[in-house]
Copies of this chain bind each other. A is one copy, B any other.
Amino acid sequence: MIGPDIDRLIQLLAKLPGLGPRSARRAALHLIKKRDILMLPLADALATAARTIVVCPICGNLDSREPCTLCSDPRRDDSILCVVEDVADLWALERSGAFRGRYHVLGGTLSALDGVGPDDLRITSLVQRATGTAVREVVLALNATVDGQTTAHYVTERLADCAITVSRLAHGVPLGGELDYLDDGTLATALRARRPM
């Protein structure tokens, strides 16, 4: 006999990834206890974001401005384009602070199983951008999964006619990784791609 307003809140919270029914109940109680400092600001942040967030028409990033902050930043390098699967990957690369070029979000990977074909991804607009005079290199920062690598090969083919370099992220031992725990494929790849000290 939970009241209808709390019940509805719990049902909706339980739909968030990472929250099940039990943690949704805990989150709801936590929110009610912190009504002014968390519940109302969160309601407001959700409503604001729902109103303002748009997909950047150039790169596919999510932002409240159009074009997005990254596309409209004049200090970024126009000559190098980093292709990612998803906005989450773009954020991960931005957190690393290692890339100062522009991005292009594909919006997924090719997947025969899930019925995702080339037309479902933002590949045509990538080819258009890569054909532009500014771009000299496209870095494919796709997941090292079967679908990610299939997509990388397909995108490479589609970019074959552009006079640009197409590269991909290096494979190897992750920093802090212990060899003992690494899979055979990664170890073999890291050995083949060994570098002089």
Contacts and interface: CB of A to CB of B under 8 A. Distances in A.
Interface stretch (A33-41, A115-123, A133-141, A151-159): A33-41
Contact of A3 (B9, B40, B62): B62
A125 interface: no
Contacts of A23: 17-18
A65 interface: yes
A27 interface: yes
**Copies of the chain in the assembly:** 2
A180 interface: no
A16 interface: yes
A35 B40 CA distance: 19
A62 B6 contact: yes
Interface stretch (A66-74, A142-150, A170-178, A186-194): A66-74
- Most chain B CB within 10 A, of A31, A49, A73, A88, is at A49
Contacts of A70: 1
Interface of A: 1-6, 8-9, 12-13, 15-19, 23, 25-32, 34-35, 38-50, 52-53, 62-65, 68-70, 73, 86-88, 91, 94
